[in-house]
Amino acid sequence: MIFEFTDEHEELRRTVRQFLANESDENTVRELMADVRGYNPDTWKRIAEELGLAGLIIPDAHGGADFGLVELAIVMEEMGRVLLCSPFLSSAVLATSALVLAADESAQAEILPQLASGETTATLAFSEKQSPWDLSGLRMAAKADGDEYTLTGVKSYVLDGHSADEILVVARAGDELALFRVAPDAKGLTREAVAPLDPTRKLATLEFRDTRASRISSGDATKGIERAIARTLIALAAEQTGGAQTCLDQAVAYAKTRLQFGRPIGSYQAIKHQCADLLVEVEFAKSAAYNAAFTDESDGDALSTAAAMAKSFCSEAYTKAAKRNIQIHGGMGFTWEHPAHLYLKRAKASEMLLGSPASHRERVAAAVGIGSR
Q: Classify each residue of 277-312 as buried b or exposed e, where b means 16 or more C-beta atoms within 10 Å of its C-beta.
A: ebeebbeebbebbbbbbbbeeeeeeebbbbbbbbbb
Q: How far is the CB of 11 from other proteins (least distance, A)?
A: 15
Which is nearer to other proteins, 331 or 369 (by Cβ)? 369
Specify burial of residue 226 (Cβ count, 10 A radius: 0-12, 13-18, 19+).
middle
Q: How far apart are CA 94 and CA 106, in angstroms?
A: 19
Cβ neighbourhood burial of 48 (10 Å; 0-12, 13-18, 19+): buried
Whole-angstrom Cα distance, residue 304 to residue 294? 12
Q: Which sign, positive or negative, has the C-alpha torsion 160, 247, 24, 32?
A: positive
258 belongs to the binding site for other proteins (CB under 8 A): no
CB of 272 to other proteins, least distance (A): 4
DSSP run (H or E) holding 157: strand 148-159
Cα 50 to Cα 15, 45, 118, 148, distances in angstroms: 10, 8, 11, 38
Partners of 193 in the β-ladder: 204
CB of 314 to other proteins, least distance (A): 10
Whether residue 124 contacts residue 160, with contact meaning beta carbons closer than 8 Å, is answered with no
Binding to other proteins, residues 305-334 (CB under 8 A): 309, 312-313
Per-residue contact track with other proteins, 262 to 301, x per CB under 8 A? -xx-xxxx-xxx-xxx-xx--xx-xxx-xx----------
Q: Whose CA is closest to 329, among 317, 343, 315, 316?
A: 343
Q: If binding is defined by CB under 8 A, does position 103 make contact with other proteins?
A: no
Tell me, by CB under 8 A, how many residues bind other proteins.
42
Identify whether the C-beta of residue 227 lies closer than 8 Å to the C-beta of residue 101. Answer: yes
Residue 275 C-beta: closest distance to other proteins, Å = 6
Task: Decide whether 4 or 42 has the Cβ nearer to other proteins.
Answer: 4
Report the residue number, 3 or 334, with the smaller CB distance to other proteins: 3
By beta-carbon proximity to other proteins, the closer residue of 67 and 284 is 284
What track of x and - describes contact with other proteins for positions 209 through 248 (by CB under 8 A)?
----------------------------------------
Number of residues in the chain: 373
Here's the x/- map for other proteins, 4-23, by CB under 8 A: it reads as x-------------------
Closest to other proteins by CB, 110 vs 283, is 283
Candidate list 109, 141, 197, 365; residue touching other proteins; CB under 8 A: 365
Between residue 342 and residue 361, which ones bind other proteins under the rule CB under 8 A? 358, 361
Backbone phi, psi, residue 339, to 5°: -75, -5
Give min distance, CB of 357 to other proteins, in A.
Answer: 9
Pairing of strands 166-173, 122-125: parallel
State the binding string over 104-143 for other proteins (x if CB under 8 A, else -). Answer: ----------------------------------------
Q: How far is the CB of 290 from other proteins (least distance, A)?
A: 7
CB atoms within 10 A of CB 267: 12
How many other C-beta atoms lie within 10 A of the C-beta of residue 162? 20
- Select the span of 89-97, 154-162, 175-183, 261-269 touching other proteins (CB under 8 A): 261-269
With CB under 8 A as the contact rule, the residue among 27, 34, 36, 369 that binds other proteins is 369
Q: Which residues bind other proteins (CB under 8 A)?
A: 1-4, 252, 255-256, 263-264, 266-269, 271-273, 275-277, 279-280, 283-284, 286-288, 290-291, 309, 312-313, 358, 361-362, 364-365, 368-373
